[in-house]
Amino acid sequence: MEILSLLYAVITSTVFILLYINLYDKYFKRRKTFVFGIIFFLLAIYIQFIINYLKIDIKIIAIFSFISYPLAIFLIFKSNVLHNIFLSLNAILKIYAAFVLFGAIFAIYNNIQYSANWLNTSYYFNLAQGSAYLLSIGSLLLNDKLLIKEKLKYFFELKGNLILLIFIQIILIVNLVWFSVSNVQIPYKWYNNVLIAVGLSFDIIYFLIRLFTANASYYSTYKSHTNTLKKQLDFQLDHYKTYESQMTSFLKYKHDYDKVLKGIASLLAAGDIDAIKSVLSDSKSDLDKLSMNYHKYSNNIILDALINDYERRFKSIGASFDCYIHFPIKDMKEIHLIKLFYNILENIYEALKQVPNVNDRMVNINTSLTNNYIKIEFVNTMIDTDYKGKTSKNDKVNHGFGIQIIDEIISSYDGFSNRFTLNENNNSYYHFELFLPIN
């Protein structure tokens, strides 16, 4: 029976770990140590089954899990600290809640009170472990694979919900440990039944909380998508209004130009050259006024229209503006071009509004070539804060979403970026350097 229970635990734990990694593989980049990390993860699980036969205190096994799980996740995925903690505690909580549940069931079957020491010294340890992994597999398939699905992507992007769930994980694990190691003097059947209820309810509670936070993250991101889209539509509306105004002025000029030509013809017939010069000078002045609101800032028509609109926005808040962008990336989709520069310029605009002294507001954009890369550098003044690469806006969800769009587009075209600040003449300057390979 011991060999069968060990084999059962090995098989179910292997399936769980492989499924667990496969499930989250789409959300994180793999490390070069990916395969080694999987092997380490599996060995860390198998060792728990082996050291059980050495009669090592179950507390040591528990501590080993809290060390080996995060290390294995670190070797497998390029995840930050919060993601690592969540993925580690997520697996530990699922398995431990089910382990206590089945341990209490086996204790009832043997007519004794559940205790960690009793379970650790019997073949029921591996049987409970195997059953716990099997239940966790079903929970993963139901919750993460069928119900949450792609909403996990948005959950991992929102730091607030991630931190909230990590705190809930810790609270549930601490309470679960406290319930399962208590030596209360009550009838053992009551104690076992309480543990069954606790293990099952904790698993269900955690299941529902994960479902709720995933949906909340999805709808928060959906709202930020909607707000971003609304801002882009407002931006386009302003652009069309400006275009309409320019076309109206142009039609007026065209209407008057026919009269000007007739006037020039009459003056030419009369031989009044000075009057002709005066008319032509006035016409040129009117034409200059007509086109003075549009400047050529780039070699791309779409990008030029975008920059011209932002030039008006920058000047509306008193910011000086200097720009020329040479953009030779011909294979970039127009929608990506608009999203990339819209979000960059929008972030600059929001940062400039925070600068208290209007005279200090400045934007400078220039282009250069660096080792087969086109480098576009955006420099703007900012409020004097300790910059840590994070937003200082109240709308952190929306702003964070904009930064994510920028990074994703740059990465999709094999480019990279550099961000830093400099302090000069009592002003803080934010530098964003965009590098894209030349076709």
> For the purposes of burial, counting CB atoms within 10 Å of the CB of 164, is it exposed (0-12), middle (13-18) or buried (19 or more)?
middle
Give every residue of the chain whose pLDDT is below 70, as ranges.
Answer: 1, 51-58, 182-188, 221-263, 267, 279-280, 282-294, 329-330, 385-401, 439
If residue 91 lies in a helix (H) or strand (E), which one and from where to where? helix 81-109
Largest Cα–Cα separation, the chain: 123
Q: Whole-angstrom Cα distance, residue 131 to residue 94?
A: 12
Pick the CATH number of 301-437 from 3.30.420.40, 2.120.10.70, 2.60.40.10, 3.30.565.10: 3.30.565.10
Give the global pTM: 0.58
Taking the alpha carbons at both ends of the chain, their separation in whole angstroms is 66
Tens digit of each residue's pLDDT (9 = 90 or more) over 255-306: 566 666 666 777 677 777 777 777 667 666 665 655 545 577 777 777 877 8
Structure confidence at residue 318 (pLDDT): 92
Structure confidence at residue 57 (pLDDT): 66
Tens digit of each residue's pLDDT (9 = 90 or more) over 24-43: 888 888 999 999 999 999 99
Q: Whole-angstrom Cα distance, residue 26 to residue 152?
A: 10
Instruction: Read off the tokens for 82.
Output: 């919060």
Residue 346: closest CA among 331, 363, 330 = 363
Structure confidence at residue 227 (pLDDT): 65
Task: Please write down the long-range contacts of 247-255, taking CB distance under 8 Å and 24 or more positions apart.
Answer: 249/290, 250/290, 253/286, 253/287, 253/290
Structure confidence at residue 116 (pLDDT): 73
Q: What is the DSSP string of 329-383?
A: -TTS-HHHHHHHHHHHHHHHHHHHHH-S-GGG-EEEEEEEEETTEEEEEEEEEE-
Q: Whole-angstrom Cα distance, residue 427 to residue 419?
A: 17
Instruction: Read off the tokens for 404.
Output: 């994510």
Q: Whole-angstrom Cα distance, residue 74 to residue 231?
A: 39
